[in-house]
Chain A
Amino acid sequence: MERSLFRYVWQKSRREQIIVLLVILVSIPFNWLSFDVPRRIVNDAIQGGAFRDGKTAATVFDWTLHWPEFLGGGSLQLFEGFKVNQVGLLLTLSFYFLALVLINGGFKYLVNLQKGVLGERMLRRMRYDLFGQLMRFRPEDIRSVKPAEVASMIKDEVEPIGSFVGDAFIQPAFLLSQALTALAFIMMQSVWLGSIALVIVLMQAVIIPILRKEQLRLGRERQIASRQLAGRIGEIVDAGPTIQGNGATSYIQSDIAGRLGALFDIRYALYKRKFAVKFLNNLMAQVTPFFFYAIGGFFALQGRLDIGQLVAVIAAYRDLPPPIKELIDWEQQRNDVTIKYEQVIAQFSPTEVVTLEEKGEIAPLPPRGEIRLDKVEMIDNRGQPLLTPLMTTFQRPGQIALIGPAGSGRDTLGRILGRQTMSYGGRVLIDGEPLAAISVERASHVIGYAGSEVEIINGSLRDNILLPLKRRRPTVKPDRSVDQEEHRRFIEALRAGNTPLPFAADWNDYEGVGLDGEDGLEQRLLAVLDTLGCAGEVYELGLDAKVIAPLPEGAAERIIEARNVVAAELSKGKLGGLIETFDLDRYNANATIAENLVFGAMRNGRQPADFLLDDAYARSVLQAEALEEPLAEIGGRIASTLVEIFAGLPQGHVLFERYAFGGEVDLEKLGELAEALRRHDRRSPLDPTVQRELVALALGYVEPKHRLNLLDIALRRRVLRARHSFKTYLPGEKADEIEFYDPADVIHGASVRDNLLFGRIGFGVPDAGRKVAEIARAALSRAGLDSSAYRLGLNTDVGLRGRYLPLRLRLMVPLAQALIKRPDILVLDLDAFAVTCPDPGGLIRRIGEYCQERTVFLLLTDPGLAADIPEKIVFNGAVARVSGKGGPIDEADELQDELPARNGAVPIEART
C-alpha cells in the first residue's frame, strides 16, 4: 500500500476533493459579503451615513459593471436597484445579512456533508485495502498475527484516519479561505488592527505546534500501548479456561493492571499537555480583542476609524480565531493521523507478500509430470531443524505416504507441499516450476491441503465443505433488472474501491473442478462423503434437522407415506417395541418432560422447554397443575447427582457432554444451583431464578436415558393432565406457534426423525438405534427422500467453531475441502481422522480410488496403514528417509530399522 497518507488520499479521491475545493472557492465571495454587510448596516442604515446630505432615499442592490481603464473606462448598469428610506434600508440590509447567513450556512453544510461522505468512502476503501493486504500475507505470517490486534487496527485505528481523509485537503483550504477573508477584511478597515491580528495569529501558528510535538509523541505511545493491550486481552481470553484452571487469574490480572497503569500514565501526561496548550491558545485568542478595544477605540476617538468599521473589525475578528484554531488542530490531526497511518501500514507491509491472483486463465497441470524436492529443508526460529535437507523426485500421478509421528518432519513437509509455509530452504519444483512462485489463485487449483488444524467457519456444513470452490467471480448479469437500492450499493462499492460482487451470489467454480453445475456438485459431495465414510453421519444429521414449512410440493404426502412404511415394517419385524409412539393419552418415557408437556413441536424452531419457561401462558398451566415445585425438586436432584459424579473432572469434559442436559448447562452452574439448594431454608419459597433454572433442568429429563428414578406414576399423570389442559386452553395467537403431534399430518418444526418414527426410540434396547435407522433409511429412500436427508444434513448449522457437529464430522471438514475440488496434488493429514474410522485401511483405499490420476501425499503415523502405498517417506524427528519402488536397496534396508521388526510378532503400540 501507499506509504504516504496524503499521496494515498490524493490518488484515490482526487476528483471528489477538487469538486469540494471548487465549492469552497465559490463560497468565498459570500463569506466576504457577510463581513461587509454589518458595516453598512451600522454606518449607512443606523448612523444614517447614506442619508447624510439630506437625501431621503438610498439605492440598494444596484449592479454596475465598471470597465477597467484599458477598456476605456465607463460602466454598464445591469440593475438599477431599489430606492428605500432609512428604515427600509435597515430592514433590507438586515434581511440581506440574514440571507447571506443562510447561504454561508448552506455552503458549510454542503462542504461538511461532502467531506463526511468522502471520509466514509475512503475509510471503507482503506479497511478493504488493509484486509486485502492481509490476505496477501504468506500463510505463516497470517498465522503469526494476533487476531485481536489486526481487528483493532482494521476496525478502530483507521477510523480517525478515515474521518481525517475528508479534511485532508479541504479543511485547510476552507479554513484558510475563511481566515484570510477575515484578515483581509480587517486589513482593509485598518492596517494597524490587521497587523496586530496577523502577528498574534502568526505567533499562534508557530508556538502551538512546537508545544504540541510532545503531545504527538505521547499519542503515538498511547496507540501502541492500547493495541498491545487489545492483543494481550485477546490472548488471555483464548487461554481463559487454562488460566482459570491453574488459578493464575490474579497473576494475569496484575499484568493487565500494569498495562492499564502504563496507559493511564500516558493518557495523564497527554491531558496535562493538551490543556496547557489549550490554555495558551485561548489566552492568545482573547488578548487580541484587548488590542482592538484599546487601540481601535483610540483610533475611533481620534476619528481615524469610524464606529461601524470598529464594530465590523471586532465582528470579523470573531470569525478569525476559530479557523486559526481549527487550522492548528488540523495540523495536529495531520501529524497524529500520519503517524497512525504509518504505524498501521507498517504492520500491513510484511517483507514478502504472495501474488494473489493469476493474470490470465489458469492453466491446468499436464496429466503426467514430476514433483522434485531440491534440498528442501526448514529451520525453526531457534535454529533447530524442522526438516533436514531432502532430495527426491516423485512421478505424477502417484501416491506417497509420509510416515512419522505427529509434529515430526512429516507435518513440516506436509505444510511445505500444501503451501502452508513459504519460509523453507531449497525448492519444490512441480514440472520444473517452483511451488513458491505460483500465485495463490493457481495454487488453490493445483493443491488441496488438509492439515491437523481444523478451521470451521460459521455457516452450514455445506458452506464449509464448498469453501474451496468459492473462487469463481460471479458474473454480474446486466440483462437482469436491478432495483435502485442495489444499483446504488453497486456504484458506492466501486467508488470506494471495494469489490461490487455480491456475497450471496453463486461463487462456486463448477468448471474449474470439472463439473457441469449444481447437480454434478451434489453428486460430487456425496462421493466425497462416501470416500471419507461420513455419508451415514451426514444422513443422521439430516434426520435430526427440522421439517420447516413450507414444504415442497408432495413432500408432506411422501413423509406420511414413509412414516406408515416405517410403522408397518416395525410391526412386521416384531420390532414394535423399539419405538414408543406419540400417544395423546400416554406418557412417553423416552421423550423429555418438556416434550411430554407440550406434546408437539414449535414451529419457530424454539425448544419446547424454552417455550414452557418463557411463555406466560405455559407458566400459568404449570402453576395451575402444581407442577413447578415437583419439577424444581427433580431439577435439584439432577443437579446434586451431576455435581457428585462429575466432581473432580475438568470443565467441559467429554463425559459430561455425553450425559448433558442440553448445551446451556455447565458444571459450574450446576454447582451453584446445588449450593443454593443446600443453603436454602425449606420454609421459605425458592429464589425465582434458581427455581427457573431447576425447572429448566427437569424439563430435559428422560427417565430411561438419565436413569435417576425421578418420575413416579403420580407425576406422570399430572404431566398428562397438564398436557391436556395446555392443549385445551391454548390461546388462539399461540396456536400458530405449536404444532401438536398428529399421526396423519406432518409435524412442522419437529425433526425428520420424529416425523418418520412418530415416536421415540426406546433407550435400553440393544441395537435399537441401528435397527430403526436401517428401517427408516429404507423407507426414506423408497419415498425418494434420500437426497433430501443428505441435503438437510449438509445444511446443518455447524455452530461456533463447529460446536454442533460430531467430532468425526468436524475432523472431516478439512479433508472434504481438499477432496471436493479434486486438485492435482493433495496433501492429507489423516492422523486424527483415521482414529475415528472403524476401518482406516478402507478409508485409505477409498481415498486412493477417489484420487485416481492425482498425486496424493498421505500423512500417517501407523506404517501398517501405508502397506499398499508404493512410495514412502519415513520421518524420524526432522530426518527423512525415502523408500519405494525406485529407492536404492540399502536405503530400504535402513528403513527396516525404523519400522518395528517383523519377526512374526505383532507389533504392540502404546496408546497415548
Chain B
Amino acid sequence: MTLESDIGCLKSIPLFRGLPGPRLKLLALMGERLYFSAGTVITEEGDKPEEVYCVLEGEVELSHDFSDGRRKTFRLATGSIIGDVPLLCNQTNAARSTAKTDVVALRLPRSLFFELLDNIPEFSVALSRDLAGRLYRLADSVLHGEKTQ
C-alpha cells in the first residue's frame, strides 16, 4: 500500500473531499496506517479514546451489549470516522467498534488530531461539516423516526 493509494482512499471519503491536495497528503503522511483483520476489536466501549480512526477500507460495526443480553449494532461504511465525538467532548467510547471485514484505517493520535484541528483550517471545516451532517441525520431519525443509513 502506498501513499498514493492512501490519498486516493482519503479523497473518496466525503469528509475529506474538500481538502486541497497537499493537505490530504499531509493527513495521509501524519496518520498511522493500520490494518485490522476481520473480527478484531478496534476500540472498546467505556475506554477513553486516545485516537481517531478514519476507515479507509472495509466496514466497521459499532455495538452495545445490554445487560439483559440484547445487543444493538450499527454499521459504519468505508469513509467513516470513529472516536472523534467522544474525544471532542471528553467522554468515553459509547460503543465497541469491531472490524466487520478486513479494515484499513488511518490512525490519528489524540494530540495529532487536535494539532490538525488547531492548524489546518480546512480540516476543521471538513470535520465540522461531517459532524453537522451526522447530527442532522440523528435529529432526523429521532424526530421523524426514519432509519439512518
| Partner-B contacts on A (CB < 8 A) | 641, 644-647, 649, 653-655, 658-659, 706-709, 763-766, 838-839, 908
Contacts and interface: CB of A to CB of B under 8 A. Distances in A.
15 contacts: A641-B25, A645-B25, A647-B22, A653-B119, A654-B119, A655-B26, A655-B30, A658-B112, A706-B29, A707-B3, A709-B4, A764-B34, A765-B34, A766-B42, A838-B48
A-B residue pairs, 7 tightest by C-beta: A645-B26, A709-B2, A766-B34, A645-B22, A645-B25, A707-B3, A644-B22
Nearest to B105: A766
B23 interface: yes
Contacts of A709: 2-4
A658 B119 contact: no
Given A655-B119, A707-B28, 9 more contacts: A645-B23, A655-B30, A655-B116, A659-B30, A707-B6, A765-B34, A765-B35, A766-B107, A839-B48
Contacts of A649: 119
B115 interface: yes
B26 A646 contact: yes
Contacts of A646: 26
Contacts of A654: 115, 119
A764 B3 contact: no
A707 B33 contact: yes
A764 B106 CA distance: 9
A838 B49 CA distance: 10
B140 interface: no
A763 B115 CA distance: 21
A709 B34 CA distance: 16
Q: Which of A641, A706, A766, A839 has the most CB of B within 10 A?
A: A766
A642 B92 CA distance: 35
Contacts of A706: 29
A655 B115 contact: yes
A765 B115 CA distance: 23
Contacts of B33: 707, 764
For the side of the interface on B, what is the size category? 20 to 34
Contacts of A764: 32-35
A659 B30 CA distance: 7
A764 B29 CA distance: 12
A659 B29 contact: yes
Question: Which among A641, A645, A706, A764 has the greatest number of chain B C-beta atoms within 10 A?
Answer: A645
Most chain A CB within 10 A, of B22, B28, B29, B42, is at B29
B26 A766 contact: no
Nearest to A648: B22
Nearest to B50: A838
Nearest to A764: B33
B3 A658 contact: no
Q: Most chain-A Cβ atoms within 10 A of its Cβ — which of B26, B33, B119? A: B26
A707 B2 CA distance: 7
A765 B33 CA distance: 8
| A interface: dominant SS | loop
A644 B25 contact: yes
Contacts of B6: 707
A557 B145 CA distance: 68
B140 to A, nearest CB: 22
A766 B36 CA distance: 8
A654 B28 CA distance: 16
A635 B94 CA distance: 45
Given A655-B115, A708-B3, A763 B25 contact: no
Nearest to A906: B89
Contacts of A839: 48
Contacts of A658: 30, 112, 115
A708 B25 CA distance: 10
B149 to A, nearest CB: 26
Contacts of A647: 22
Contacts of B30: 655, 658-659
Interface in B92-132: 107, 112, 115-116, 119
Contacts of A708: 3, 29
A908 to B, nearest CB: 8
A806 to B, nearest CB: 10
B131 to A, nearest CB: 14
A763 B116 CA distance: 21
A715 to B, nearest CB: 15
Nearest to B28: A707
A864 to B, nearest CB: 10
Residue of A644, A707, A708 with most partner-chain B CB within 10 A: A707
A763 B32 contact: yes
Contacts of A644: 22, 25
A641 B35 CA distance: 25
B103 to A, nearest CB: 10
A647 to B, nearest CB: 6
A645 B24 CA distance: 8
A578 to B, nearest CB: 13
Contacts of A641: 25
A908 B30 CA distance: 30
A765 B48 CA distance: 20
Interface in B52-103: 89
A838 to B, nearest CB: 6
Contacts of B36: 766
Contacts of B2: 707, 709
B72 to A, nearest CB: 23
A658 B108 CA distance: 12
A647 B26 CA distance: 10
A256 to B, nearest CB: 33
Contacts of B89: 908
A45 B27 CA distance: 102
A655 B112 CA distance: 8
B34 A645 contact: no
A673 B104 CA distance: 35
A204 B20 CA distance: 82
A645 B22 CA distance: 5
A810 B23 CA distance: 30
Contacts of B23: 645
Contacts of A763: 32
A649 B32 CA distance: 21
Contacts of A653: 119
A655 B117 CA distance: 11
B133 to A, nearest CB: 20
A764 B34 CA distance: 5
Contacts of A838: 48, 50
Interface in B35-49: 35-36, 40, 42, 48
Nearest to B109: A658
Contacts of B40: 766
Nearest to A647: B22
Nearest to B31: A707
Contacts of B115: 654-655, 658
Nearest to A835: B114
Contacts of A645: 22-23, 25-26, 29
A126 B34 CA distance: 64
A644 B116 CA distance: 17
A621 B26 CA distance: 35
A655 B40 CA distance: 30
B107 to A, nearest CB: 7
A708 B40 CA distance: 28
B109 to A, nearest CB: 9
Contacts of B3: 707-709
A908 B25 CA distance: 33
A261 B37 CA distance: 72
A433 B6 CA distance: 67
B29 A707 contact: yes
Nearest to A706: B29
A645 B7 CA distance: 13
A645 B115 CA distance: 15
Nearest to B91: A906
Contacts of B32: 763-764
B20 to A, nearest CB: 10
B108 to A, nearest CB: 11
Contacts of B107: 766
Q: Which of B6, B28, B32, B33 has the most CB of A within 10 A?
A: B32
